[in-house]
Amino acid sequence: MKLPLGLALAALAWAAGAEASQHDGLEAIRQRGYLRICADPANLPFSSNDSGTPGFEVELAQLIAGELGVTARMEWHATHVRAIKPLRDGACELFMGLPVDRRFREGNPWIAVSQPYYTMTHALVTRADAGSLTIADLKGKRVAVELSSIAEVYVAYRDVVRGLYRTQEQAFQAVARDEAVAAFLWFPLAVWLARGRADLKVVAVSDEGLAFPVGAGVRKRDPGLAEAIDAAVGRLLASGRAQETFARYGITSAHRSARESPFVLARDFVLVQDKDSREAGRSLFSTACSRCHGAEGVGGGTGGSLPRLRNYEGGWDRFYRFVWEGRKNTPMAAFKGILSPDEVRALYEYLTSLPRQ
């Protein structure tokens, strides 16, 4: 007897869910003998499908699997497109490099993140003969940054000339070609790109507002796994094996204990402080939006014919979704992790309060 199409589809969905549930949890993983880890196949120094140079997060994930008494099985996914979707959908049980941060937890309540195994920081890449430089020393000079990155937002509040590039690698090459005095990049990537370059140097930037503790993420519904991963990370840090892994890629661990409170990002990386929300929104719009949407929010800008935002009439929910998630197949990037919900609200209140033109 054949089921009606709707019931057949429902039955298939139930069966897929039942099959997935059999693979959830620590005991099921130990029974099958391997832990599935989602990673990008071409994202060194973090991850790579090159067994000779797998990346420090792949090596650390392999150590975590070993701590659980199983082997690691890599599931390769390009992380520039909906990075954590494979974890949510059950394609893997472990995802490395997720922020240990209140905002991330609130935005992704289905994820449990371990204690941080590393604190991600930033760095300046400069010419080797440039002397000792800080961002304050670069006033009026061109600094290369990745478009729509945390680094771009950060330097926008400094008196430097922003050189905007689509990727951090391109920003790095701008310094190598003398198009910029410095590049402001993620520290591990800066060290990796500068390896073997006697003409360049990497200077760590110690500002706490640019420090992001990261840990290993699992689905909360996987019973026992979150606790086991957290304990494994703790043992690897205590034994020094995690730090040895980082050192092989030329970086050092600025580990912060998960027991320290509050976390760095939740405490320090706040652009909207104690000021009128519309004034904060005006400042944020000038920094993050005007280049594409025009100085007065009327569209245009360097991006060409882009939507008008002044006197936005699409409503809060629609506005928030577009800013937070971006728009697929358009230049509109997602600002989740760059702006906070309060900052998005400040933008909305600013744009909807402007006099009509």
The least confident of 166-180, 295-309, 336-350 is 295-309
Candidates 134, 124, 121; CA nearest to 256 is 121
Which domains does the chain show, CATH number per domain? 16-119+211-264 (3.40.190.10), 122-205 (3.40.190.10), 277-353 (1.10.760.10)
How much is the average pLDDT of 175-198?
Answer: 94
pLDDT tens for residues 112-126?
999 999 888 899 999
Residue with the larger pLDDT of the pair 82 and 221? 221
Q: How confident is the model at residue 276 (pLDDT cuts 50, 70, 90)?
A: low
CA–CA gap between residue 72 and residue 12 (Å, rounded):
29
Residue with the larger pLDDT of the pair 261 and 115? 115
Answer whether residue 99 shows pLDDT above 60: yes
Residue with the larger pLDDT of the pair 195 and 351? 195
Question: What's residue 54's pLDDT?
Answer: 97
pTM > 0.85: yes or no: no
Answer whether residue 355 shows pLDDT above 90: no
Q: Which residues contact 122 (CB under 8 A, 6 or more apart)?
A: 150, 151, 154, 184, 185, 186, 187, 190, 204, 205, 207, 210
Q: Which residues contact 108 (CB under 8 A, 6 or more apart)?
A: 84
CA–CA gap between residue 54 and residue 45 (Å, rounded):
8
Question: What's residue 297's pLDDT?
Answer: 59
Q: How confident is the model at residue 141 (pLDDT cuts 50, 70, 90)?
A: very high
H or E element at residue 102: helix 102-107
Block residue for tokens 């680094």: 151
Q: Dihedrals φ, ψ of 257, to 5°?
A: -65, 140
Q: How confident is the model at residue 349 (pLDDT cuts 50, 70, 90)?
A: confident
Question: What token pair was written down for 205?
Answer: 């930037």
| SS3 state of residue 120 | strand
Upstream peptide bond of 109 is cis (omega within 30 degrees of 0): no
How much is the average pLDDT of 219-248?
Answer: 92
Question: What's residue 91's pLDDT?
Answer: 93
Answer whether residue 175 shows pLDDT above 90: yes
| Mean pLDDT taken over the chain | 79
H or E element at residue 97: strand 94-99
Residue with the larger pLDDT of the pair 15 and 286? 286
Question: What is the chain's length?
Answer: 357
